[in-house]
Amino acid sequence: MQKTRFIDLHTEIPGPKSVAVHQRMQKALPKTILGTTPVIEHAQGSILKDIDGNTFIDLTGGLGCLNVGHCNPRVVRAIQEQSAKFLHTDFSNVPYDSLVRLAERLNKTFPGGGDAKTIFFNAGTEANENAVKVARLATGRKAVISFESAFHGRTLMALSLTSKAHPYKAGMGPFASEVYRVPFPGSYRCDLAQGQPDHVCDERCYARIERALVTQVAPEDVAAVIVEPVQGEGGFVVPPKSFLPWLRRFTEEHGILLIVDEVQCGVGRTGKMWATEHSGIRPDMLTFAKSIAGGLPLSGLMGRSELMDVPEGGQLGGTFIGNPLSCVAANAVLDAFDQDGVLDQAVRAGEYMRGRLDAMAKTCQKIGEVRGLGPMVGVEFVEDRTTKVPASEFTDLVVARALSQGVLLLTAGIYHNVIRFLQPLTTPMDVLEEGLDVFAECLKG
C-alpha cells in the first residue's frame, strides 16, 4: 500500500510569490529579522502551505511555540469566542476570570508540589527579568549566577544572563552588573573531563561551580541561580541526571534561590509538563512562555507563594500582561493536555525520533551526537568525530536541502552546528516519518 504524501511542491523554493514578498520585506523591514523561508498562507497541525501553493512539513513549530499544533481546534475556538466578548482591559485595572483560572490550573502543576502563585507577562525574556526582580527583593541580595551556553532572552538583564556572543551580545554592552557565569555540565563538549568518563566531567563541573563562590562572588551576595533544565538555544544540551538535584542542594546550602527557565523545554516539550519533573526537585521559581498559549504571546513566572507575594503593588506588571485572548488560548492548551493525550503522543514521538536519528548516526559520519530528553531532540554535526570541529556549513546545507524538499528545520548551538526538532507534539507518526525520511536523504553526499 502506497504511503500518503504530505509534502506537495509545485514551484522552486521559495516560489515566485514568496520571492516577491521577500523583496518587499527587504525594503520595509530591518535585515535583523529577515528570513529566507516561503511565505505562509495557511497551516494546520504540522502541515504548512505557502502562498505559492506548496505544502511543507513543519518541524520547527513556530520556534517551539506550537506544541499542540498550528491552529489547534480547541485554541482557535477559544480565541474566536473570546474575541467577540472583549479584547483588553489591563487585568490590574479590570480583571477577568480566564486569567485567574489559568493561574489556578498552572499552580497545581508546580514541580515538587506545594503552594504556588503565577504572574503573567508577554514573552519569555520578561518572565526571566521579573524572576530576577523577585529573587532580589526576596533575598536582599543582588548577584545572579547563570551558565555557559545559556539563553534567557534579549532584554537587558536576560541578555546579560545569556551566554552566546554572536549574534546576541556582540556590540550590545554594557550589560547588567552582578551576573556571574559557571560551566554547564554536558559531557560531549566538556573541557574538564580530559578523556575521563562522563561522571568525572560532572564532578569537576560541580567543583568549578562551588569554586565560583570563592573566586567570583561571595555566597551571601547571590540572590539566585537561573538554569535551563535542558538548554535550548545552546544546542539541546541535557545535563546528567544528578545535576539538578545537586544544584538544588547547592543553592539550599547557601540560601540561594533556584530559578528554572522552561521557556523552551516546558509545556510538554520533554514528554512531561515541565522538564524539571524529570529530576524530582522543587525549584523556587519557574519561567515559561512559547507553547503555553498555542501561538499567542504569553509568558509567566510561577513560584513559591511566599516568594511571589514579596513584590508590592505595581512592582511587577505591564499593560498587556495576561491578555484575555492569550489566557483563553492557554486554557485551551491545558484542555488539550488533559483530554487529548498530548504527553502520551510526545513520549511516543520521542522514542521514535531517537531510534531513527540514532540509526542515521551509524551511517552519517558528520553526526557527532544525537541527544535530547523525550521529543526534545537535537543532532550535532562535526567535521570529524575525534576532533569534534563544528560542521556549521554542513548544518546550514542540511537545512537548505530539507527546505528545498519540503521540510522546515531549525538550527541551534553556540557553534550553529545543531539541528533541533521542535515539531508540534501532536504531529502524526506518518507525518513525522516522512519528515525524517527527507532529513535522512539530506544527510547524504
Give the helix, strand, coil percentages of the chain, each rounded to 5. Answer: 40, 20, 40
Q: What pLDDT sits at residue 196?
A: 65
131 lies in some domain: yes
Would 233 be classed as within a structural domain? yes
Q: What are phi and psi of 245, to 5 degrees?
A: -60, -40
Complete edge-to-edge strand list for the sheet that includes strand 40-44: 40-44, 47-50, 55-58, 407-408
CA–CA gap between residue 101 and residue 327 (Å, rounded): 9
Alpha carbon distance 42, 62 (integer Å): 13
Q: Show which of 339, 366, 390 is a domain's final residue.
A: 339
Domain count, the chain: 2
Q: Are residues 131 and 230 in the same domain?
A: yes
**Residue 403 belongs to a domain:** yes
Q: Which domain-ending residue is among 314, 339, 364?
A: 339
| Domain CATH number, residue 376 | 3.90.1150.10
The pLDDT score that the predictor gives to residue 3 is 73
Q: How confident is the model at residue 1, as a pLDDT?
A: 52
H or E stretch at 435: helix 429-442
What pLDDT, on a 0 to 100 scale, did the predictor assign at position 78? 98
Contact 365, 382 (CB under 8 A): no
DSSP states of 223-263: EEEEE-SSBTTTTSBPPPTTHHHHHHHHHHHTT-EEEEE-T
Do residues 110 and 172 both lie within one domain? yes
Q: Which of 339, 364, 382 is the last residue of a domain?
A: 339
Judgement on whether residues 168 and 308 belong to the same structural domain of the protein = yes
Q: Give the strand order in the sheet containing 367-373.
A: 367-373, 376-381, 418-421, 410-412
Looking at the fold, whether 271 and 405 belong to one and the same domain comes out as: no
- Is 70 a member of any domain? no
Secondary structure class of 438 (helix, strand, coil): helix
Q: In the sheet that 116-121 helps form, which strands lie side by side, from edge to edge?
A: 116-121, 299-304, 285-288, 257-261, 222-227, 143-147, 179-182
Q: Is residue 205 part of a domain?
A: yes
Looking at the structure, do residues 26 and 85 belong to the same domain, yes or no? no
**179 plus 237 within the same structural domain:** yes
Cell numbers linked to 20: 516577491
Query: What gap in Å lies between CA 172 and CA 194, rounded to an integer?
Result: 34
CATH number where 179 lies: 3.40.640.10
Cα dihedral 104, 109, 115, 117, rounded to 10, equals -50
- Do 162 and 226 reside in the same domain of the chain? yes
Answer yes or no: do 172 and 208 share one domain: yes
Cell 488539550 sits on residue: 336
Position of cell 531510534?
355
In a domain, 410, yes or no: yes
Q: Do 334 and 346 lie in a common domain?
A: no
Q: Is residue 188 classed exposed, middle or buried when 0-12, 13-18 and 19+ CB atoms within 10 A define those classes?
A: middle
Residue 273 lies in a domain: yes
- Based on the domain organization, do 187 and 269 belong to the same domain? yes
The residue range of the domain holding 385 is: 16-58+341-442
> Do 93 and 136 belong to one domain?
yes
| Residue-level pLDDT at 35 | 81
pLDDT of residue 193: 60
pTM for the structure as a whole: 0.96
**Mean pLDDT for back-to-back runs of 10 residues, the chain (445 residues):** 83 95 93 88 97 98 97 98 97 96 98 96 97 98 97 96 93 95 87 66 89 97 98 95 97 98 98 98 98 98 98 93 97 97 96 97 97 96 95 97 97 96 97 97 90
**251 and 164, same structural domain?**
yes
Residue 9 forms part of a structural domain = no
96, 150, 109: which is closest to 128 by C-alpha?
150
Q: Which of 231, 246, 247, 249 is nearest to 188 (CA)?
A: 231
What would the DSSP string read from start to end of 309-359? Answer: T-SPTTSS--TTTT-HHHHHHHHHHHHHHHHS-HHHHHHHHHHHHHHHHHH
Beta partners for residue 226, in sequence order: 259
Tell me how many degrees the CA angle 366-268-358 measures, rounded to the nearest 5: 25
